[in-house]
Structure 1
Amino acid sequence: MDTTKLPKMLYGGDYNPEQWDESIWPEDMRLIPLAGMNIATVNVFSWAMLQPNEDTYNFETLDRIMDMLHKNGIYACLATSTGAHPAWMARKYPEVLRTDFDGRQRKFGGRHNSCPNSPVYRSLSTQLASKLAERYKDHPALLLWHVSNEYGGECYCDRCEAAFRDWLRAKYGTLDKLNEQWNTRFWGHSFYDWDEIVLPNAQSEQWSSDRTCFQGISLDYTRFNSDSLLDCYKLEYDAIKAITPDLPVTTNLMGTYKPLDYFKWAKHMDIIAWDNYPSMDTPTSYTSMTHDLMRGLKNGAPFLLMEQTPSQQNWQAYNTLKRPGIMRLWSYQAVAHGSDSVMFFQLRRSVGACEKYHGALIEHVGHEHTRVFRECAQLGKELNSLGNKLLGSRLPSRIAIMYDWENRWAIEYSSGPTVDLKYVDEVHKYYRALHEQGYQVDIVSFEDDLSPYAIVLAPVMYMVKPGMAARIEAYVAAGGKFVTTFFSGIVNENDLVTLGGYPGELRGLLGIWAEEIDALFPGQHNRIVMKDALGTQLQAGSEYNCSILCDLIHAESAEVMAVYGDDFYKGMPVLTRNPFGSGEAWYVASSPDADFLQGFLGALCDNSGVKPLPGKQPGVEVTLRAQEDRSYLFVLNHNAAEVFVELGEYAGVDLLTGEPVAGQVPLAGYGVLIIEQFA
């Protein structure tokens, strides 16, 4: 989707007029434009309305909704409704119902209760998508297609089991290869017929969602499940594209959602869209990292913020209100990290069922005289004033963090060495250390080109996929700086250990050998003791805490920069640097505290000529979006109190006020600056 062709940033959200009497619709059409909104996501959960039985389709209500949106100058993000099948379908075709982890077939209810490998579900959902595309292909309101909604969940039915066997045949070709890669001679699991293979669930190999007897089997099932749901999406995508080839198609992702490999999904999405629901106590850096991950799914292209709440959520244990200014601040945070939209769930608060207490533009009182509406209207006025200036601009970065869903699955399926190792948490530690110092970061896949970056970080690269080691070696040899950590280089893509000593294929690059891995109890620490100074940030003899896992490593060609301070491995390396070609490879053998990571990464950036953005101080976030002839510095104050930010040599015009900005400037609590500077 080329957002540069839009007249202004998309602003709006999910709208469900079919849930209301039509006498209310005219008031909605007064209030939504009054808030400055220009897009509505419609038809998300309307399958039962559109198709009351298998042989009947009724689009009359949706026709009126689409015509109403166009008449009032509102774009339609048109959903296919296939995220929840109708009750008649479950009754007539029980095969569409999922079977859960414990082997029980579900009944009708909830949503995403459709077996992704049910031929009936696939056929009927694709037919509906085709009929919608054919009916609305020329409708003037239609801007964007939205397939299903927040894909997720698993199914363990007989059809999925048969499809899993087919998927395995395609991957491995022979049972001999499968037995080898799953190491099935362990516990006498050798398979002699494809039909002997069963799904890993509570009835077979797994005793919980993340604990399994055979990591290879569970890892492949997770891949298969992600692929199965992706196939459902692709069927609808292809049906829509066959009729409306020039209209963009997407679905709404969920950030770091574990079960689906979003890098793989992104290849089949015209633009990335995602739903952002942090808690009030979610670290700012975590939300920023997730925005950057979503931007990274399509090589840094702008994305859409498809959902957030304007006030409060309804599904958390404690659903705190967003304090005045927070909704605006968090909306601009998304824009600062690459979003070309600000959208909400929802525009009118539901009257019943489980989301009736989820926030909305129009509250149950039904008018505009509320704090939430006033804040949304003010934001709409500001976004409209920006026009299309920011659209299509990107975030230039010289630092990348590598992220991989399959790597995460493999780590967290592992039986040992510790239950406390959580992949996303370790990635976030490194991201946060850079974010807190004002460095801009890209999140990239294990397949992406590394050459644009001065520094590449790969925390806990447990899984080394085919060709990865050679690509990283080439990057470092050409002058790049590469950093990886404990529990890296351990296994291949099927979770088989690479023999010959950890870190496996990375051993030559890193110049170390990891002999053992020690797991520390919760609250237990070792110490990192610097041998020599590393820039001005880490002084010789300075000490820092480390925890979770400690690799006991031997330096082969690597230089020892820091050692452990405690236990029987006191004095063994914990931080090493290995020159390789024109670059260098670093290894961090434990999980360090924040002070160490800020010092280490700050020094690495200094030595690489990578500069932080201006305006950074505690509680203040900075990013930079850029186009050919201009840049936009975002300065976001996440503090409740006013601060003064120093912009250094960066000067320009604040897009939100039109005033010139330079030097040291005040920024109100929860305030936002967007400073335009021409090249």
Structure 2
Amino acid sequence: MSRSSTPKPMKYPPISDKLPVFMHGADYNPDQWLHDPQVLAEDIRLMKLAHCNVMAIGIFSWASLEPEEGVYQFEWLDRVLDTFAENGIYAWLATPSGARPAWMSEKYPEVLRVEKNRVRNLHGMRHNHCFTSPVYREKVTQMNTKLAERYSKHPAVVGWHVSNEYGGECHCDYCQDAFRDWLKRKYGSLDALNRAWWTNFWSHTYTSWSQVESPAPHGEMMVHGQNLDWRRFVSDQTIDFYKHEIEPLKRISPELPCTVNMMDLFYGLDYREFAKVVDVISWDAYPMWHETDSDAGVGSWFAFNHDLFRSLKQKPFMLMESTPSLTNWQPVSKLKRPGMHKLSSLQAVAHGSDTVQYFQWRKSRGSSEKFHGAVIDHVGHEHTRVFEDVASLGQTLAGLTEVLGTTVPAEAAILFDWDNRWAIHDSQGPRNKGIHYEETVMQQYRALWELGVPTDIIGSFDDFSGYKLLVVPMAYLLREETGAKMEQFVKDGGTLFVTYWSGIVDENDLCHLTGFPGPLRKTLGVWAEEIDGLHDHDRNALILEDGNSLGLSGTYEIHELCEHIHAEGSKVLGVYRDDFYAGKPVLTVNELGQGKAYYLAARVSDLAFYEALYGKLVQDAGVHRALDTELPAGVTATPRTDGAHEYVFVQNFSGRAARVELDRQSYTDAETGRAVEGAIELPVNGIVILKREV
């Protein structure tokens, strides 16, 4: 059994000493209502009534703060922040770089992005600006310096909300030069770059740095190493822009934390790298509830994201945005059914959030988000179902202060890397109509979620030693050093579970030449000779061997991907039923040192298989579960702990009432303080928080 030499703290201090309770609030846009001074007074009354204590303010306010170049108008923001301070309300003060004013686009067109077709955009939308542009960087520095000088000591300000949902890329000449400089720093020479990108293919060898450009639909898009490095560069350049943004903030007010709101499993940026320069992680969650009778699939996806964002810094995070009712941009904007607001908000808390915040406080009267959910509807008063849900949740959060800062005691982890994700989607085979990497990751996570197993989502450069179970889905891009870490993890007593299409290429997207799964061939005791991509209608099956060491039995459907593998010292636990590889291994285990390494060579479609498999792996590895009991389908349990007590959030996403038998008698209801014995009854969209001594 692996153990970390430096265990994580059991409890962290609050995000801000000014507000040592759960933060509860919303994005607030008073600059949309400057024509009506009564709105601010009414908003303050309603904020108090809703038990809201913090607002994110100024996110898209550049035109209100600087209506003309060099002409600043801060009086309206002074008035809002002073009124907050007088009423015990706090603010995450935003930098407004998410959307530049029209005067800037008109006078300095270079700030506008150039698309991959090399055409510059017109003014409009959000994040339609070049992160490399010297003019844009200069203007951002000027604005952020003014904000920091004026407000960093304001009693209402608890931190900086930097920009908004970074994303996108620019292909202008500034960015092309920056990309070449990035490559020079990474490779040092063109010879090294050409080797890493395998440019002899199709005679694409570069003989001058000026020949290297970003991928383009009317130019180069087939050099996979180049595509991968461009994605890494875009991510790094965005991070560099963020560092540029916070320089004046940190220089003037180093004590104030900086955050940037991230998005669920966002494709374009490596959030694990981004997290290294962010003080506190925050993200925006917008589930599409009630699409089917059960919300378990959506619930597990967002649970995965909560776990990911908690794992980025291994400490509590912030739910910066969610909707108190519905969105206006999803294919169907469905209202939250009764109970779902509390359930979905406390789901974030269960997985480590120390805040619940919304987009937005008051609905906009016009433009694209006028029908997006908000705490205050267009009717303008508190007598709405949504307001009552928000106010009720505010009361609940106020009574859970002892949970603040606690950690999630995860002994299982799933490996998820952005560059692996990018490389998989660029691989051109074996299924170009859908390799379904994210779905594969979620198949593994969903089973652990259904079992109530707290799980971290980690990267290749993280420490594996504190976990008992490490799950590695489709680690297509696998570095030699990562493979060596996994081997040591198993030797030290850990349980490793790896799926098909792993260990195929190195960090440059060059194929391993020692047989797949590359660096894991010895650890897993298998050689993956070839992989078969199945048509959508094709089916095969996994037949579990009689008397296998897991004690599992049955036949389970396989679709989409089948690897033809050979056992090299590993034990065969299950075989294929059909095709020319019938009888060949599908599921194997290899004993190495004190641990075990499992390999699954095909995509099994049945959730029941993963639940049975992980139930046995978790049991054998001694992995902590929130409740040592059988949970009904669609019901999960997630723990937070301070080392002395554990708070178990039992959540019902099944779409029907459920009963959960408890595994011990000494529970109390964390909301009411009443003793709980025997079993708990959960209504549709119900949640109960159980407290117990560790």
1:146, 1:249 within 8 Å by CA — same for their partners in 2? yes
State how 1:400-549 maps to structure 2 within 5 Å: 400-419=413-432, 420-534=434-548, 538-539=552-553, 542-549=554-561
Shift of 1:7: 2.9
In structure 2, relative to structure 1, the CA distance for the partners of 1:2 and 1:108 (3 Å cut) is: farther
Say whether residues 1:595 and 2:608 are aligned partners. Answer: yes
In structure 2, relative to structure 1, the CA distance for the partners of 1:536 and 1:224 (3 Å cut) is: closer
Q: Deviations over 1:234-259 (max 9, x none)?
A: 11122211111111110000020000
Correspondence for 1:579: 591
Shift of 1:641: 3.6
Q: Distance in 1 between matches of 2:58 and 2:621?
A: 50
Shift of 1:52: 1.9
Aligned residues: percent identity? Answer: 46
Give the letter for the 1:447 counterpart: F
Judge which range, 178-187 or 591-600, deviates more.
591-600
In structure 2, relative to structure 1, the CA distance for the partners of 1:89 and 1:533 (3 Å cut) is: farther
Q: Distance in 2 between matches of 1:544 and 1:401?
A: 23
Judge which range, 581-590 or 640-649, deviates more.
640-649
Correspondence for 1:610: 623
Say whether residues 1:169 and 2:181 are aligned partners. Answer: no
Q: Deviations over 1:517-570 (max 9, x none)?
A: 10001132211111134567622xx21111221111111121111111110111
Q: Distance in 1 between matches of 2:550 and 2:70?
A: 73
Give the letter for the 2:144 counterpart: A
Say whether residues 1:629 and 2:644 are aligned partners. Answer: yes
Correspondence for 1:570: 582
Query: 2:58 pairs with 43, 47, 51, which one?
Result: 43
Judge which range, 505-514 or 484-493, deviates more.
505-514
Correspondence for 2:336: 322
SS in 1 for 2:496: strand
Shift of 1:604: 1.2
1:651, 1:675 within 8 Å by CA — same for their partners in 2? no
Correspondence for 1:209: none
In structure 2, relative to structure 1, the CA distance for the partners of 1:537 and 1:36 (3 Å cut) is: farther
Correspondence for 2:197: 182
Query: 2:406 pairs with 365, 372, 393, which one?
Result: 393
Correspondence for 1:668: 683
2:317, 2:353 within 8 Å by CA — same for their partners in 1? yes
Query: 2:175 pairs with 153, 156, 160, which one?
Result: 160
2:454, 2:624 within 8 Å by CA — same for their partners in 1? no
Q: Distance in 2 between matches of 1:348 and 1:323?
A: 21
Correspondence for 1:233: 242
1:631, 1:677 within 8 Å by CA — same for their partners in 2? yes
State how 1:308-319 maps to structure 2 within 5 Å: 308-319=322-333
Give the letter for the 1:134 counterpart: E
Q: Distance in 1 between matches of 2:665 and 2:14?
A: 27
Correspondence for 2:562: 550
2:549, 2:573 within 8 Å by CA — same for their partners in 1? no
Shift of 1:466: 4.7
Correspondence for 1:382: 396
Judge which range, 69-78 or 345-354, deviates more.
69-78
SS in 2 for 1:340: strand
1:535, 1:603 within 8 Å by CA — same for their partners in 2? no
State how 1:278-317 maps to structure 2 within 5 Å: 278-280=287-289, 281=291, 283-299=298-314, 301-317=315-331
Correspondence for 1:245: 254
Shift of 1:325: 1.2
Give the letter for the 2:405 counterpart: G
Query: 1:77 pairs with 92, 97, 105, which one?
Result: 92
Query: 1:269 pairs with 266, 275, 278, which one?
Result: 278
Give aligned pairs, total.
669
SS in 2 for 1:267: helix
Shift of 1:472: 1.0
Q: Distance in 2 between matches of 1:650 and 1:125?
A: 58
Q: Distance in 1 between matches of 2:364 and 2:551?
A: 53
Say whether residues 1:3 and 2:17 are aligned partners. Answer: no
Give the letter for the 2:571 counterpart: E
Give the letter for the 2:311 counterpart: G
SS in 2 for 1:202: coil
Query: 2:69 pairs with 54, 67, 92, which one?
Result: 54
Give the letter for the 1:204 counterpart: G
Q: Distance in 2 between matches of 1:603 and 1:611?
A: 13
Q: Distance in 2 between matches of 1:191 and 1:580?
A: 45
2:632, 2:659 within 8 Å by CA — same for their partners in 1? no
Give the letter for the 2:120 counterpart: Q
Cα RMSD, aligned residues only: 1.4
Shift of 1:501: 1.2
Q: Deviations over 1:14-35 (max 9, x none)?
A: 0001101222111111111100
1:130, 1:236 within 8 Å by CA — same for their partners in 2? no
Shift of 1:417: 1.1
Q: Deviations over 1:595-625 (max 9, x none)?
A: 2211211111121122533262222120010
Q: Distance in 2 between matches of 1:551 and 1:639?
A: 34
Say whether residues 1:100 and 2:111 are aligned partners. Answer: no
Shift of 1:219: 0.6
Shift of 1:642: 3.0
Shift of 1:88: 0.9
Give the letter for the 1:260 counterpart: L
Give the letter for the 1:108 counterpart: H
Q: Distance in 2 between matches of 1:402 and 1:260?
A: 17
Shift of 1:203: 2.0
Give the letter for the 2:672 counterpart: T
Q: Distance in 2 between matches of 1:252 and 1:418?
A: 34
2:410, 2:624 within 8 Å by CA — same for their partners in 1? no
Shift of 1:186: 0.4
In structure 2, relative to structure 1, the CA distance for the partners of 1:554 and 1:635 (3 Å cut) is: same
Query: 1:23 pairs with 33, 38, 46, which one?
Result: 38
Q: Distance in 1 between matches of 2:590 and 2:651?
A: 38
- Which runs of 5 or more residues in structure 2 are unaligned? 1-11, 292-296
- Which runs of 5 or more residues in structure 1 are unaligned? 207-212
Q: Deviations over 1:192-245 (max 9, x none)?
A: 100001110212123xxxxxx111111111110111111111111222111111
Q: Distance in 2 between matches of 1:655 and 1:529?
A: 45
2:113, 2:170 within 8 Å by CA — same for their partners in 1? yes
Q: Distance in 1 between matches of 2:56 and 2:656?
A: 36
1:103, 1:203 within 8 Å by CA — same for their partners in 2? no
SS in 1 for 2:283: strand
In structure 2, relative to structure 1, the CA distance for the partners of 1:466 and 1:500 (3 Å cut) is: closer
1:103, 1:202 within 8 Å by CA — same for their partners in 2? no
1:255, 1:293 within 8 Å by CA — same for their partners in 2? no
SS in 2 for 1:389: helix
State how 1:116-265 maps to structure 2 within 5 Å: 116-206=131-221, 213-265=222-274
2:479, 2:519 within 8 Å by CA — same for their partners in 1? no
Q: Deviations over 1:409-444 (max 9, x none)?
A: 000011111122122111100000111122221111
